[in-house]
Amino acid sequence: MRHELRLFFIALQFFTRVPVPRWVGFEPAWLHDSARHFPAVGLLVGAVAAGVLAGAAWLTSPAVAVVLSMAATVVLTGAFHEDGFADTCDGLGGHVSRERALEIMKDSRIGSYGAVGLVLVLGLKAATLGSLPVALAVPALLLAHTVSRAMAVVLIRALPYAGDLAAAKAKPLAQGVSGRGMAVALGWAAVVAAGLAAWRPVWWPAVLLSVVLAAMGAWACARCWRRRLGGFTGDTLGATQQVTEVLVLLGWLVWLRFAGFWA
């Protein structure tokens, strides 16, 4: 149990700016094993986003609350996944070779495709959250941040690493994830999904639709990354997380739109 807690803290340290206890330490192999707890980190990020949204909506307005909630997650994660999404858009936005695309994605500067993509994905996220009542936006955020990170773990398991393994910033993750690790990651997502459905049974269609959309989005991402790059990179994992996060939120909005049909 202590080791699993250590792995959670390793994942938390990797994906957020949250300080971890000194006793955790670090070994490269632990980062590889910590992938199983990436969705747990997502649940924590989602809880912060939901808490800020609920509190700010009570104090200010829904629109301001959405912006503050999104800002809180960006500060908490250091825009880790958003940066990967922008780099992926820059690399794959033009008709370039695989080698050139990987080279572009390593560039720390943001290009036109990355800027436009980032504006669109953040705008879509804000518009979707703003269209949901706070009572639904809270569970939607919890599910979105958890499931989206589980989908990224699935891609680490399903695809080979496309970049230069020797130059990988997180080499242990580039070496893939075990079947057990992927199962634990999916288990985190399943627990959150089941918990929300049990908390309010009327939500089960929204939960199911959101998970299905996220899975479809992850499948589409996997096909694109394999076709264009031959596998995944750290940037494409960030892009996968952003795409599937938005799809989960959209699933809740679609359910709300047709709630009478599901009843």
Q: What is the pLDDT of residues 26-37, one digit of tens each?
A: 777 777 788 889
Is the confidence at residue 5, as pLDDT, over 90?
no
The answer to whether residue 262 scores a pLDDT higher than 70 is: no
Report the pLDDT averaged over residues 3-29.
81
pLDDT of amino acid 165: 60
Q: Is the pLDDT of residue 173 over 70?
A: no
At residue 257, does pLDDT exceed 50? Answer: yes
Q: Given a cut of 90, is residue 44 above it in pLDDT?
A: yes
pLDDT tens per residue across span 63-109: 999 999 999 999 999 999 999 999 999 999 888 889 999 999 988 88
Tens digit of each residue's pLDDT (9 = 90 or more) over 111-123: 899 999 999 999 9
Averaged pLDDT for residues 187-196: 97
The answer on pLDDT for 235 being more than 70 is yes
How open is the CA angle 15-32-213, to the nearest 5 degrees?
Answer: 60
Read off the pLDDT of residues 89-98 as tens digits, 9 standing for 90 and up. 999 988 888 9
pLDDT at res. 263? 46
Backbone angles phi, psi at 60, to 5 degrees: -125, -110
Contact 150, 221 (CB under 8 A): no
Each residue's pLDDT tens digit, 121-152: 999 999 999 999 999 999 999 999 999 999 99
> Is pLDDT at 174 greater than 70 in this prediction?
no
CA nearest neighbour of 234 among 1, 8, 5, 38? 38
**Phi/psi of residue 63, each to 5°?**
-65, -45
Half-sphere exposure of 186 (CA within 13 A, CB side): 14
Question: What pLDDT, on a 0 to 100 scale, did the predictor assign at position 89?
Answer: 96
C-alpha separations of 94 from 31, 111, 163 in Å: 33, 11, 18
Q: Which residue stretches of the chain are H helix?
A: 2-15, 28-33, 38-59, 62-77, 80-93, 98-106, 112-131, 134-158, 171-174, 179-199, 204-229, 234-257, 259-262
Read off the pTM. 0.93
